[in-house]
Amino acid sequence: MTKTHAQRVFSGVQPTGNLHLGNYLGAIRKFVDMQHEMESIYCIVDMHAITVWQDPKQLRDQTLEIAAAYVAAGIDPDKAIIFQQSAVSGHAELAWVFNCVARMGWLNRMTQFKDKAGKDKERASVGLFVYPNLMAADILLYRATHVPVGEDQKQHLELARDIATKFNNEFGDEDFFPLPEPLIKGPGARIMSLRDGTSKMSKSDPSDLSRIVLTDDADTIAKKIKKAKTDPEPLPTEMDGLEDRPEAKNLVGIYAALAGMTDEAVLAEFGGEGFGKFKPALADLAVAKLAPLTEEMRRLRGDEAYLEGILRTGAEKARVIAEPIMREVKERVGFIV
């Protein structure tokens, strides 16, 4: 008999670099929707951030910026839990246990480590290598069942399931941890660079024109859309006309995600039009949708006491869930508690 675990959402965003449109449409907006469907825990993963060098002052600033973005986007701190990973010691404790459950071979297969460590693996931090174990601990510390993440995190989530399975088998309860499911699909799931429709919009792209960040003002948003790479053809009327046109496809997808429409509906409206007409419409829409959000972020960002209060209360609520689970982990492992 397998017992069913209560449905619970967990996700995390790293406080590194400015939040961009891809983070908003692909992650944060989904978090806002999920909070109405099940108990939701949204973490700012500062411990993951320091797996690569972070300036301490900037880390602090960016942690508050994400808290502001969460609240400005519509995550209700009375409904969902918003907190900072380092404030709940269970993350580090469970990550250690998982460092001893996961196998070197499993981690050696992680493609993100290979990408992030680059050529000189010897100089990467040990933390970067065991990053996925900490991520598994984040999720399983709360017995979360659903994890909204980008496509790039799918492999890490599979590892979390492998860790959960091995722990369950070795420590005598096949249902101790749930096997968490990724929630990947949905509008805005893959927002690509404005300069290259084949690579993801990313905070590490050297070109500022490749992304719209949530601190851009209206003129900057309009300029970046105007300069976005396109092709000379007008927009097609059907979806298959977007094949092999990654930049056109991306702009249509952004329009659809911002407007809450399907891609097909966007093509029904703009099919046959050139980018000379579509880009200004997209720029107006982006400004109209993002301006209230960025303005509210700026206002909240000015009230540090309020944001710190939200994080403190969130961490207390997170601890209440985590502590009994961590206690049972320790007992099962054989630590005297």
- List residues binding ligand TRP (CB under 6 A): 10-12, 14, 45, 48, 135, 138-139, 147, 149, 153
Residue 216 beta carbon to ligand TRP: minimum distance, rounded to whole angstroms: 21
Concatenating the DSSP letter of every residue in 206-243 gives S-GGG--BTT--HHHHHHHHHTS---SSPPPSSGGGGT
Q: Choose between 149 and 194: whose C-beta lies nearer to ligand TRP.
A: 149
Q: Which one from 166, 200, 289, 317 is the annotated catalytic residue?
A: 200
Q: Which one from 166, 203, 229, 289 is the annotated catalytic residue?
A: 203
Contact yes or no for 141/133 (Cβ under 8 A): no
Q: Choose between 186 and 234: whose C-beta lies nearer to ligand TRP.
A: 186
Whether residue 121 lies in the annotated active site? no
Q: Choose between 138 and 247: whose C-beta lies nearer to ligand TRP.
A: 138
Other CB atoms within 10 A of residue 107 CB: 16
Whether residue 330 lies in the annotated active site? no
Residue 135 beta carbon to ligand TRP: minimum distance, rounded to whole angstroms: 4
Cβ-closest position to ligand TRP: 12
The b/e string for 228-256 (b: 16+ C-beta within 10 A; e otherwise) is bbbeeebbbeeeebbeebbbbbbbbbbbb
Residue 147 beta carbon to ligand TRP: minimum distance, rounded to whole angstroms: 5
**96 burial class (0-12, 13-18, 19+ CB within 10 angstroms)?**
middle
Whether residue 116 lies in the annotated active site? yes
Q: Choose between 58 and 220: whose C-beta lies nearer to ligand TRP.
A: 58
Residue 11 beta carbon to ligand TRP: minimum distance, rounded to whole angstroms: 4
- Residue at 218: amino acid letter: A
Other CB atoms within 10 A of residue 194 CB: 25
CA dihedral angle for residue 80, residue 84, residue 87, residue 90, rounded to 10 degrees: 70
Active site residues: 116, 200, 203
